[in-house]
Homo-oligomer: A and B are copies of this chain.
Amino acid sequence: MVTIKDVARAANVSTATVSRVVRDKGQVGDKCRAKVQKIIKQLGYRPNTNARALVSKRSDTMGIVTPNLSDPFFGGIAQGIEEVARQMQYKVMMGNSLHDEEGEIEAIASLRENGCENIIIHSKYSSNETLIKLCEELPGLVLINRFIPSIAGRCVWLDNTVGGRISTEYLLNNNHKDIAVLTSYYNNQDPHDRIRGFKMAMEMAGHTVKDELIFVSDLKQVIKQGQNGGNLEGESTAKRLLESGQKFTAIIAYNDHMAVGAMNLLLDNGIRVPEDVSIIGFDNVYVSMIVRPQLTTINYPVVQMAKYAAQLSIDLTKDKENVENKTHLFMPELIERNSVYHLKES
């Protein structure tokens, strides 16, 4: 391996000079710089990252802590972060997030040991207190898809309440008022916010919310499998809805996976979508556009948010000024496709 010393020797300068040339910092004479650059190219020198990180305590590495990469939702996050990282000449390291708070903390600790200043975490399991403390210690830590008021400047999040509201309003505008909700068991805030948005919209339109039309998935163990469980969750929850014998003309699902599961269950039971029952999802993932009927859903701009989060993290450790104390809120948007039927007014 060719080191900085080899280059220095070959160029007949000191290692300090080579270092300055490499990092393009400090004053170096023009002819000297040119000479060194030529030698660097000639020898194919590339600075040793570990040595660099050791002394400078930074490694230009971006850490990702996320639950499950085989779910395209999280894959999208990784992809977005990776793109920004590449652009900014950062490496990307994956923290091995397990399925509890301890796992997340361990993942972050492991990242820090590698001199990773910039970390993006999709935290599902850690408490607010834990995350707030971590933010104090790590200036480059950014939370994605989560909002904690006291560290708002570190949170890149989507307004789930608005998401719940606009999907409800869309159904109401299509004259649905017997709306069932299939939600997911999660120990984070999202499902609650979406339901809050649903209730707000219903009440604003003068409808009473029937709690018995809200079904919470009971397949807790399935969640951990990511996408591959989502549709099953949707199927089983929709089945319970069906068996309850209640009247409904539309379903709001927690996400597209559940929506597709529910849709398939209805279809398999000879219930037409959307003619008999309308369905609306959330996330706008790939499957929502390839199923038939194509799923009307709420767009969750994950990739965009992930890119934003990566950039934010870099800014936080670089420019420090002006960045903190901003708010980083994204808005969901309705994606109108073919799974919602326009009811005749009754």
Contacts and interface: CB of A to CB of B under 8 A. Distances in A.
A44 B86 CA distance: 33
Nearest to A226: B79
Nearest to A70: B79
A76 B70 contact: yes
A246 B54 CA distance: 66
B75 A70 contact: yes
A200 interface: no
Contacts of A216: none
Contacts of A49: 50, 113-115
B91 A86 contact: no
A interface, size bucket: 35 or more
A85 B94 CA distance: 11
A61 B115 CA distance: 14
Given A82-B94, A93-B94, A291-B291, A54 B46 contact: no
A161 interface: no
Nearest to A114: B49
Contact of A290 (B91, B287, B303): B287
A153 to B, nearest CB: 25
A264 B292 contact: yes
A61 B118 CA distance: 18
Contact of A114 (B50, B68, B96): B50
A200 to B, nearest CB: 31
Contact of A96 (B68, B92, B227): B92
Contacts of A287: 286-287, 290
A51 B114 CA distance: 9
Interface of A: 46-51, 53-54, 59, 61, 68-72, 74-76, 78-79, 82, 85-86, 91-94, 96, 98, 109-110, 113-115, 227-228, 231, 260-261, 264, 267, 286-287, 289-292, 303
21 contacts: A46-B109, A50-B51, A50-B59, A68-B79, A70-B75, A70-B76, A70-B79, A70-B303, A71-B72, A71-B75, A75-B75, A78-B78, A85-B96, A91-B110, A91-B114, A92-B93, A92-B94, A228-B286, A264-B290, A287-B290, A292-B292
Given A70-B76, A264-B292, A267-B292, 17 more contacts: A46-B113, A47-B113, A49-B113, A50-B59, A50-B115, A69-B69, A69-B79, A70-B78, A70-B79, A70-B303, A78-B94, A82-B96, A91-B94, A93-B93, A227-B286, A264-B290, A290-B291
